[in-house]
Amino acid sequence: MAVRTIRISGDEVLRKKCLPVGVVDDNIRKLLNDMAETLHSTENGAALAGPQVGILRRLVVIDMGTGIMKLVNPKIIKKEGTQTVIEGCLSIPDVWGKLERPSKVTIEALNENGEKMTLTGTKSLAKCFCHEIDHLDGILFTDLVTEYID
């Protein structure tokens, strides 16, 4: 495993759309492990998406204190409700903003063994799913901010 460099706002890779993963193999598992190690090396990160470490594949790792989730080709299949949230991003240091996100989100993804799974998140996890999947499509939270927080 290796800690990778987190790409910062202004890096063109953050605006690119990621390609789907065709086969979950040892190379993909290594990338996911590198992403998890990179996430765990940060002080306040909850998740990382592929482009944030220069990988233009649909990969996400999330750890909100309950253990690491490794997601391959995640996609939102259902959104419910709305919530006003405050977000920041490891790729946009020291910037925080308010925006609207669904309060409940259901996603489909493959796990690190290539097995299909369906996950539902509410509140913070719903926000996190949306934020990270947006990264896979070249969307940054600052594109959606309604008010910046000092």
Please report, in range form, the residues annotated as the binding site for Fe cation.
89, 131, 135
Burial class (CB in 10 A: 0-12, 13-18, 19+), 116: exposed
Contact (Cβ atoms closer than 8 angstroms) between residue 89 and residue 40 = no
Strands 147-149 and 92-101: antiparallel
- Coil, strand, or helix at residue 128? helix
| CA distance linking residue 39 with residue 10, whole number of Å | 20
Identify the active-site residue in 37, 87, 132, 147.
Answer: 132
Residue ranges for the binding site?
Answer: 89, 131, 135
Tell me, yes or no, if 132 is annotated catalytic. Answer: yes
| Residues recognised as catalytic | 132
